């Protein structure tokens, strides 16, 4: 309290004492013990009221002890069971979490992880994926700006996520406690298999297989790829202590249309501890047609190469670049891309009036817009000679086909002559244009569907910059290439609009997320949020049937079918109000990634410990780990002084006390006949 408050309190004492003395002694005719009590009560009540008026600030200081957090993170994936380390992992966790010295020094907290990270002190070891990268991200988020050690009880075998070695904070020590038998066993393994999802009928498709060997013997293994009882490819491969890996490239015939399931197997005469990882199933969708796309251009431009690469990223597409006056027949093509058409395209337009092939028109600074107005009625151009840069704005209400916003707003501008563009008839706009920050409300990417014929318009050149920017944003061309592929898919089909659109894969690996997306559109082809969608899934072998409801998301409905066993399934999606349905099938391949390991990944965990300046420990060294944690002087508990200031007026009990004192004074005066 400051000096002013102290002086006011002293003055309050004098005032309270003076008034009490004046009333009960100075004016009193008789002085008794009752008068003394009454004077004291009056003194207290007056002083209490003056205290409330002065309202001094009461300060209180307390000390709080803050311990260093010690997260004990346990691998909850099924690979711990497969490596026969479940009991050891539980024993190590109990020994660490129950240690009283650790509890006294640290704030011990327990977590578990598989594909996800969560706080828990119970473990079932049934996780189907292992993501140590998620552990690193979660710990950084939970203990931000804190220095702490982490004990990681794991086998170090990761099946999803980024490389975890450099994911953890290098300033916080990681102490991996490795579980699982580290003895090296002889083991042959199909490590990785690369194959395209699609192949064309009567062609051959490549399969690349990576094989791995653990052991010191010189052995000869048999590798084969089979389908059912038929062996399609077979060869012998030698391994030794110096040759641990092999890459096999095989061409397989695509002689059956539809989803085809194959099996890659490696085996030898030697006995192995784990034979599950000797086999890997894969599937290929064999299709019987290919989309031929022609890019017609009178000029050279980087856009042409970018479009060609994006389209041909899908093996179903083949692109031919030709000059407008070099076209003899259009019957060989399914889609025509007209790049910046001019009067040279006149003969082409005349031929296409007969052929009726869907077109994708891209305009730019070299386009003859007067000629273009004469050749198509959908968009009317009134353009000047001035160039302008147009930014893109994504239209989330677009519903001709399902597509995602891949970051169009961050893409570089397209260049096109400045002017006005008006539409005739029904034009669906996927991207609108902006000049700097001003919306023009004009189409930048638009689609037209009229009497079964489809057209697309991209009003600007330099789309090659979009593909490059997409690679910078996502470290891959995939998102942009898929976006272009959906445009080609729309143009390659002349089917009328469907009210129920379902997106799904032809096959999934067991343990992966099995998601099916569906969109339902009303008669105006607007997304219907009130639709009631259900899915019925039937195992073709066991005939077991399961029914699910699809849950509404952003412009789509979704169902997650995780938990289905490996096998072939037929399914039907129904909209209950309109009775609209869609039927198809998918295959779940038998593959448990957690069963691929025979040893813990000691090398990776050593790298992690070294990166964070920690140390690797094994189960028989747990006491040494505890000793290291206890002796580390960097993890001392901190005492934090907490100062709280409370105004006296907030003290409710003072008001209650004043009320009691006044009531007691009144009662004594009444009792003694002094009122």
Under a CB-based contact definition with an 8 Å cutoff, are residues 507 and 589 in contact? yes
Per-residue pLDDT for 496 more than 80? Answer: no
> Pick from 481, 462, 369: which is nearest to 413 by CA?
462
Please tell me the pTM assigned to this model.
0.54
pLDDT at 27: 65
326 vs 195, higher pLDDT: 195
Q: What pLDDT, in 10s, does the model give residues 433-480?
A: 999 888 888 999 999 987 778 899 999 999 999 999 999 998 999 999
Per-residue pLDDT for 189 more than 80? Answer: yes
527 vs 409, higher pLDDT: 409
Order the strands of the 245-253 sheet from edge to edge.
187-195, 204-214, 245-253
Under a CB-based contact definition with an 8 Å cutoff, are residues 336 and 361 in contact? no
pLDDT at 29: 62
Binning pLDDT at 50, 70 and 90, where does residue 675 land?
A: low
Residues 6+ apart with CB under 8 A from 91: 619
What's the chain's length in residues?
675
Q: Which residues pair with 379 in a beta bridge?
A: 423
Residues 6+ apart with CB under 8 A from 3: none
pLDDT at 497: 57
Burial (Cβ within 10 Å: 0-12, 13-18, ≥19) of residue 178: buried
Say which range, 61-65, 68-72, 536-540, has the weakest mean pLDDT.
61-65
Under a CB-based contact definition with an 8 Å cutoff, are residues 262 and 229 in contact? no
Report how far apart, in Å, the C-alpha atoms of 599 and of each of 87, 88, 152 are: 16, 15, 17
373 vs 420: CA distance, rounded Å: 13
358 vs 374: CA distance, rounded Å: 18
Under a CB-based contact definition with an 8 Å cutoff, are residues 262 and 232 in contact? yes
* Maximum CA extent, the chain: 133
pLDDT at 589: 81
Concatenated DSSP letters of 187-242: EEEEEEEEE-SEEETTSEEEEEEEEEEESSS-EEEEEEEEETTEEEEEEEEEE-SS
pLDDT at 198: 78
415 vs 418: CA distance, rounded Å: 9
Q: What pLDDT, in 10s, does the model give residues 298-340?
A: 999 999 999 999 999 887 788 999 998 887 778 888 899 999 9
Under a CB-based contact definition with an 8 Å cutoff, are residues 389 and 364 in contact? no
Per-residue pLDDT for 371 more than 60? Answer: yes
Q: What is the mean pLDDT of residues 131-144?
A: 93
Alpha helices, H only, 55-121: 79-82, 86-97, 100-105
Under a CB-based contact definition with an 8 Å cutoff, are residues 562 and 126 in contact? no
Per-residue pLDDT for 22 more than 80? Answer: no
Q: What pLDDT, in 10s, does the model give residues 471-485?
A: 999 899 999 999 999
Burial (Cβ within 10 Å: 0-12, 13-18, ≥19) of residue 266: buried
Phi, psi at 135, each rounded to 5°:
-60, -45
Q: What is the mean pLDDT of residues 118-137?
A: 91
Q: Which residues pair with 292 in a beta bridge?
A: 318
- The number of C-alpha atoms within 13 Å of 26 and in the hemisphere containing its C-beta is 7
Residue 107: Cβ within 10 Å count:
14
294 vs 461: CA distance, rounded Å: 18
pLDDT at 69: 92
Phi, psi at 214, each rounded to 5°:
-115, 125
Element (H, E) at 587: strand 580-589
Per-residue pLDDT for 43 more than 90? Answer: no
Calculate the average pLDDT of the chain.
Answer: 87
Q: What is the mean pLDDT of residues 137-147?
A: 91
Per-residue pLDDT for 495 more than 80? Answer: no
Residue 543: Cβ within 10 Å count:
7
Own/partner contacts of 110-119, CB < 8 Å, gap of 24 or more, are 110/71, 110/72, 110/73, 110/74, 111/71, 111/72, 111/73, 111/74, 111/135, 111/138, 112/73, 112/74, 112/75, 112/76, 113/73, 113/74, 113/75, 113/76, 114/75, 114/76, 114/77, 115/160, 117/73
Per-residue pLDDT for 644 more than 80? Answer: no
Q: What pLDDT, in 10s, does the model give residues 591-636?
A: 777 777 878 989 999 999 999 999 999 999 999 999 999 998 888 8
> Pick from 229, 218, 221: which is nearest to 266 by CA?
221
Q: Percent of the chain, pLDDT > 90?
A: 47
Q: What pLDDT, in 10s, does the model give residues 502-542?
A: 888 878 887 778 889 998 887 666 778 888 999 999 999 99
Own/partner contacts of 422-426, CB < 8 Å, gap of 24 or more, are 422/379, 422/380, 422/382, 423/378, 423/379, 423/380, 424/377, 424/378, 424/379, 424/380, 425/377, 425/378, 425/450, 426/450
Under a CB-based contact definition with an 8 Å cutoff, are residues 141 and 102 in contact? no
Give per-residue burial for 354-370: e unless 16+ CB within 10 Å, then b: eeebbbbbbbbeebbbe
Q: What is the mean pLDDT of residues 117-125?
A: 92
Bridge pairing between strands 638-647 and 57-66 = antiparallel
Report how far apart, in Å, the C-alpha atoms of 455 and of each of 43, 179, 490 are: 96, 61, 9
pLDDT at 524: 62
Binning pLDDT at 50, 70 and 90, where does residue 394 land?
A: very high
Report how far apart, in Å, the C-alpha atoms of 625 and of each of 97, 406, 409, 617, 660 are: 13, 48, 52, 7, 62
Residue 278: Cβ within 10 Å count:
19
Radius of gyration of the chain from its Cα atoms, rounded to whole angstroms: 39
pLDDT at 670: 75
Phi, psi at 368, each rounded to 5°:
-95, 95
Burial (Cβ within 10 Å: 0-12, 13-18, ≥19) of residue 613: exposed
Binning pLDDT at 50, 70 and 90, where does residue 273 land?
A: confident
Q: Which residues pair with 154 in a beta bridge?
A: 178
Q: Percent of the chain, pLDDT > 70?
A: 96
- SS3 at position 161: coil
574 vs 186, higher pLDDT: 574
């Amino acid at each position: 309290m400051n000096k002013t408050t102290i002086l006011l309190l002293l003055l309050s004492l004098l005032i309270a004492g003076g008034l009490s003395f004046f009333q009960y002694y100075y004016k009193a005719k008789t002085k008794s013990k009752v008068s003394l009590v009454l004077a004291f009560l009056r003194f207290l009540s007056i002083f209490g009221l003056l205290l409330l008026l002065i309202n001094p600030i009461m300060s209180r200081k307390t000390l709080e002890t803050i311990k260093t957090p010690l997260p004990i993170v346990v691998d909850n994936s099924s690979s711990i069971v497969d490596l026969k380390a479940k009991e050891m992992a539980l024993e190590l966790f109990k020994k660490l979490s129950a240690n009283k010295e650790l509890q006294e020094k640290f704030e011990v907290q327990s977590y578990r992880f598989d594909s996800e990270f969560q706080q828990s002190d119970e473990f079932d070891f049934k996780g189907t994926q292992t993501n140590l990268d998620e552990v690193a991200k979660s710990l950084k988020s939970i203990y931000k700006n804190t220095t702490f050690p982490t004990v990681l009880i794991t086998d170090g075998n990761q099946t999803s996520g980024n490389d975890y070695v450099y994911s953890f904070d290098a300033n916080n020590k990681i102490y991996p406690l490795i579980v699982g038998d580290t003895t090296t066993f002889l083991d042959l393994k199909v490590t990785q298999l690369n194959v395209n999802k699609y192949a064309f009928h009567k062609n051959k498709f490549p399969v690349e297989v990576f094989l791995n060997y653990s052991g010191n013997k010189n052995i000869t293994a048999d590798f084969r790829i089979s389908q059912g009882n038929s062996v399609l490819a077979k060869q012998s491969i030698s391994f030794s202590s110096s040759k641990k890996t092999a890459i096999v490239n095989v061409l397989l015939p695509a002689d059956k249309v539809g989803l085809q399931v194959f099996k890659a197997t490696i085996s030898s005469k030697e006995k192995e501890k784990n034979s599950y990882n000797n086999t890997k199933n894969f599937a290929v969708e064999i299709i019987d047609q290919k989309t031929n796309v022609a890019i017609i251009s009178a000029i050279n431009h980087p856009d042409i190469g970018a479009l060609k690469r994006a389209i041909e990223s899908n093996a179903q597409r083949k692109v031919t670049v030709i000059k407008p006056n070099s076209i003899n027949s259009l019957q060989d093509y399914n889609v025509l891309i007209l790049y910046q058409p001019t009067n040279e395209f006149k003969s082409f337009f005349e031929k296409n009036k007969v052929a009726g092939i869907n077109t994708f028109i891209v305009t730019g600074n070299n386009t003859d817009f007067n000629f273009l107005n004469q050749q198509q009625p959908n968009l009317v151009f009134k353009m000047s000679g001035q160039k302008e840069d147009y930014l893109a704005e994504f239209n989330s209400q677009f519903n001709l086909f399902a597509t995602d916003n891949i970051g169009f707003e961050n893409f570089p501008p397209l260049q096109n002559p400045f002017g006005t563009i008006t539409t005739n008839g029904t034009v669906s706009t996927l991207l609108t244009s902006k000049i700097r920050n001003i919306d023009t409300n004009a189409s930048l990417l638009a689609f037209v569907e009229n009497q079964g014929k489809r057209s697309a318009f991209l009003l600007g050149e330099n789309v090659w910059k979009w593909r490059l920017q997409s690679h910078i944003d996502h470290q891959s061309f995939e998102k942009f290439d898929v976006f272009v592929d959906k445009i080609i898919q729309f143009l390659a089909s002349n089917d009328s609009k469907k009210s129920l659109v379902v997106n799904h894969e032809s096959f999934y690996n067991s343990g992966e997320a099995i998601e099916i997306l569906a969109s339902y559109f009303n008669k105006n082809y607007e997304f219907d949020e009130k639709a009631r969608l259900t899915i019925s899934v039937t195992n073709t072998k066991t005939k077991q049937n399961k029914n699910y409801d699809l849950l509404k998301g952003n412009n789509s409905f979704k169902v997650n079918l995780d938990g289905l066993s490996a096998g072939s399934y037929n399914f039907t999606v129904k909209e209950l109000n309109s009775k609209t349905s869609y039927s198809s099938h998918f295959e779940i391949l038998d593959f448990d990634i957690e069963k691929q390991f025979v040893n813990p990944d000691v090398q990776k965990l050593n790298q992690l410990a070294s990166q964070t300046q920690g140390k690797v420990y094994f189960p028989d060294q747990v006491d040494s780990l505890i000793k290291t944690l206890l002796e580390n002087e960097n993890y001392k508990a901190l005492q934090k002084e907490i100062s709280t200031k409370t105004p006296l007026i907030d003290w409710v009990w003072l008001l209650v006390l004043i009320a009691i004192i006044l009531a007691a004074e009144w009662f004594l005066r009444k009792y003694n006949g002094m009122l």
